[in-house]
Chain A
Amino acid sequence: MSRTVGVGLLFLAALVACTHFKQSPPPAAEPTTRSAPDLPASSETPRAPPSVESPPTGSPAAESPAAGPPSAESPPSPAPTGSAAKPAQPKTAGSAKPKTPRVTGAPAAGSPAGGSSKPLPAEQRAAPAGAEPATPAAAQAATTQPVAKPPALDLAGLERRLKDTHAIGLFTKLSLKNQVDDLLGAFRAFHGGQSQPPLAELRQRYDLLLLKVLTLLQDGDPPLASAISASREAIWGLLADRDKFQKIQVS
C-alpha cells in the first residue's frame, strides 16, 4: 500500500509540476499582451497588438483634430490629420516604436474607416509605402511606352514579316497586296487632289483591309497580328498625312 501511495504521490507531484509549468508561460505571455496596451513593456511583442490598438489611437487622434473648431477644412484634411497624428506620438511616447506606425496608418485610414476595421491600418501601413514607389514606377513605364512606340512602327520590318509568314498562303498574299496597292492608289489620288474620296471613306477601307489581314494572321502568326494591330494608328498617321505619305512613296 505504501508503494502505491508513494507512486500516487509522485504522480500527483508530477501532475502539479506539469500544470504549474504549463501555467507559468501563459502568465508570461499575458503580461506582455497586457503590458502592450498599458505602456512600456517590451517593444518586440507588442508589434502584433499595435495593429489592434491602432484604430482606437487613430480615431482619437483623428477625432481630436476633428473636434477642433476648424475641422471643416475638408480637402487638406489628410494633411492636418497626419500632422495632428504625429504630435499624437509624443503624447503616447511611452509606447514609442509600435505607435509610430500606428500613427502613420491612422491618418490614412483615417477617421472614416474608424475603429471597426482593425486590420485596415496594418494594411495601410504597407500600402502607402508600396503605393508611393509604385506610382512613380507606373509613371516611368507610361513615359517609356510612348518612347517605345515609335520604333514599333517599322514598316519595312512589318512588310518583311508579312512576306515571310506562313500563316497566309501565296494566293492570299498576292490578293492582299493587290488590295493594299489599290488603297495606296486611293490615298495617292486623295493627296494629289485628282479625286476626292472623303478621308472617312479611306479610313473605312483602311480599317477593313487591316481587319482582313488581322483575321488571316491571328491564328497562324499572333505576334505579327499583334504587331500590326499595335501600329494601326501609326500607319494611319503616315497615310493620312500628305508629307509623310509622300516620304513613304519616295522611299
Chain B
Amino acid sequence: MRCPIYVLVFTAAALLAEGPSFGADDTSFSNDLKATIALQGMPCDQIIEAKRNGDSDYTASCKDGNRYHVFVNPKGRVVVQKL
C-alpha cells in the first residue's frame, strides 16, 4: 500500500509544471484585456474574471469592481463599454 515517494514527486512536479502554462495564458490574456481597457481611458487595476461571450467579445470584471464589455464591432474597432 505504500506509495513510492518518487511517484508522488513526479506527480507533483508534473502538476506544478503544467500549472504555470495555463496561468501564463490567462495572465497574458488578462493583460491584453486590461491594456485594451486602459487604452480606452477606463480604469481597471486587475482583471479577476474574463467571460467569453463570442468571437472577440468578452465581459471583464476588475478587482476594483468595474465591469466592461470588450468587443470588436463590425467596423473592426475595439469597443469598451462600461457595464
Contact = CB atoms under 8 A, between A and B. Distances in A.
Interface of A: 168-172, 174-176, 178-179, 212, 216
Contact of A172 (B32, B56, B72): B32
Interface of B: 28-29, 31-33, 35-36, 39-40, 56, 70, 72, 76-78
Contacts of A216: 35
A168 B70 CA distance: 16
Given A168-B35, A171-B72, 12 more contacts: A169-B35, A170-B32, A171-B36, A171-B70, A172-B35, A174-B77, A175-B35, A175-B36, A175-B78, A178-B77, A178-B78, A212-B39
A179 B29 CA distance: 21
A170 B76 CA distance: 12
Contacts of B35: 168-169, 171-172, 175, 216
B77 A172 contact: no
A168 B77 CA distance: 17
Of B31, B35, B56, B76, the most chain A CB neighbours within 10 A belong to B35
B44 to A, nearest CB: 13
A168 B40 CA distance: 15
